[in-house]
Structure 1
Amino acid sequence: MSTARQRIVIGGQALRWEACGPASERTYVLVHGIGMSHRYFAPLRDALRRSGRVVTVDLPGFGGLPMPHDDLDVPAVGRILAGALRALDLRRVVLVGHSMGVQWALEAARADPTRVESLVLIGPVVDAAHRTLLAQAVALAVDTVREAPAPNALVFSDYLRCGPRWYLTQARHMTSYDTEAAIARATQPTLLVRGDRDPVAGEQWVRRLRAAAGEAELVEIADQPHNVQYTAAREVADAIERFAGPLGGLVAPERPVERRSTSTR
């Protein structure tokens, strides 16, 4: 399967995207979290590419891209992401966000709802139980102990490439953003995913988000931490593919649905 890479500029801000997998009507777009890059989506990308086109992005200031001169808040980054979807002419998008990528995905879907078919929100932040930067740091430290060496290495190296200035700028926006309100106003069917050992996106918090959403399904992957899309990529891909359904239509439950994976991977 061919892979295409390109750097594009939207609203004066540089992004990098990579596409792989067979041409299809539906496209999975994977949106990384704060400090991160497309690299920690590699296992999920490879698992999803069997069922459609997969696009990974590096947002402005991340993945080695230049730090923007402007102070971009969550809606601003979301609009840039939506602009990238238009520039790439992507339609029937399943927008998959992880961690702070959830917030950017929600804002991109709000900015251009006609292109975003559904939302997959993995490890959504910021948990109401720890909204301050200090509390977030503690949750991340706990998660680091639970993660495997490979994702920890990716996280630390990407944090270095991002740099503390841009990280802290975005962390301030992350902790002030109202994720619950954003999910409540989203018009797309939504899948929430978390590892059941994730201290960053706690169980009660994710259940609260599911209750706030109009159409939502919740899947918890057993014995997995915050970076569940890396450590249990096959299980996460299965949940996404089951949720998205065949190309003829999306599976949209009439009421909230919960599934729990028994994976011990």
Structure 2
Amino acid sequence: MSGWWRSEFTAAAGTRMHAGVLGPPVATDVVCVHGLGCSHRYFLPFARRLAPAARVAAPDLPGFGRTRGPREALDVRGLSLALADWLRATARGGALLVGNSGGCQVIVDLAVHAPQLLGPVVLNGPTVDRHTRSPLRQLLRTFANSRLERPTLNLVIARDYVDCGPRRLRATFYHLLGDRIERKLHHVRTPAVVVRGSRDLIVSRPWAEEVVAALPDGRLAEVPGAGHALNYSAPDELARITRLLLEETATSS
């Protein structure tokens, strides 16, 4: 748990869900939702930047990081149900949610069956672009994008991939690939910011604009020169965007 203030284990979703927590206990809650094969670990740079203004919690969804999962990999609905159970159990319903990549799909699916648990949302690199929904194209784009991230991110993700195992990783990849996020975006009725790095090879600007257009209350923010995992490779910029949304929603409430 190096860098995180503490580990938090909560009985939820039929397991003990782990979360890394960083920030003052009295600060506003922000919940981070990880992408394919990842865990709380790659949210640490972002959490460090945001912690003075928020209490950041990054749960490991079942089967990832330090949370044990069922034998069979959960699909997107299963992951969003697990997130919903954890939000209820930890009394974090209504917190601002920050997703990266596949984590954005989990957040959007959460809006379908438990909209009352959503606060404002930051969708960093929302997948899957419906125009490139093929395993080969997604894998090629992912490998190409890895050159644009901080080199140490590959070490963090490699550890997470070992934790979840190749079988779960592959099954979850196909679950995410088959999830039609574009059909569910209208359920997100809280203020939403779609964020992408200007060099993101996984999420194109036209796709990000399409996502924004489908959101009832969405806008686009682009980080110049950055890739896909802004929470790790451009944490200052993502924290600035998140703080601005926190301030805006606090003022309007």
- What is the TM-score with the length of structure 2 in the denominator? 0.92
d(CA) in 2 for partners of 1:65 and 1:115? 21
Aligned residues: 251
Structure 1 residues 130 and 14: alpha-carbon distance in aligned structure 2, compared to 1, 3 A threshold? farther
Offset of residue 61 of structure 1 = 0.9
Structure 1 residues 25 and 71: alpha-carbon distance in aligned structure 2, compared to 1, 3 A threshold? same
Q: CA RMSD, aligned part only?
A: 2.0
Offset of residue 48 of structure 1 = 1.0
Corresponding position of 1:94: 96
d(CA) in 2 for partners of 1:74 and 1:45? 25
The answer to whether the 8 A contact 2:120-2:245 is kept is no
Offset of residue 91 of structure 1 = 4.0
Corresponding position of 1:32: 34
Match of 2:81 among 72, 79, 93: 79
- Please list every run of 5 or more consecutive structure 2 residues that lacks an aligned counterpart in the other structure: none
Letter in 2 for 1:34: L
Q: Which range is displaced more, 100-109 or 233-242? A: 100-109
d(CA) in 1 for partners of 2:26 and 2:113? 23
Alignment of 1:92-241 (within 5 A): 92-241=94-243
Match of 1:57 among 56, 59, 64: 59
> Could you give the per-residue CA deviations for residues 68-106 of structure 1, whole angstroms, max 9, x where no partner exists?
124421112101101101100114300111000001112
Match of 1:45 among 44, 47, 51: 47
The answer to whether the 8 A contact 1:243-1:250 is kept is no
- Please list every run of 5 or more consecutive structure 1 residues that lacks an aligned counterpart in the other structure: 252-265
The answer to whether the 8 A contact 2:29-2:92 is kept is yes
Q: Which range is displaced more, 190-199 or 66-75? A: 66-75
Letter in 2 for 1:143: N
- What is the DSSP-based 3-state SS (H/G/I as helix, E as strand, rest coil) of the residue aligned with 1:188? coil
Task: Give the helix-richer structure, 1 or 2.
Answer: 2
Letter in 1 for 2:228: H
- What is the DSSP-based 3-state SS (H/G/I as helix, E as strand, rest coil) of the residue aligned with 1:199? coil
Corresponding position of 1:5: 7
Corresponding position of 1:243: 245
d(CA) in 1 for partners of 2:250 and 2:38? 33
- What is the TM-score with the length of structure 1 in the denominator? 0.88
Corresponding position of 1:255: none
- What is the DSSP-based 3-state SS (H/G/I as helix, E as strand, rest coil) of the residue aligned with 1:65? coil
| Seq. identity, % | 30
Offset of residue 116 of structure 1 = 2.0
Offset of residue 167 of structure 1 = 0.7
The answer to whether the 8 A contact 1:35-1:62 is kept is yes
Corresponding position of 2:24: 22
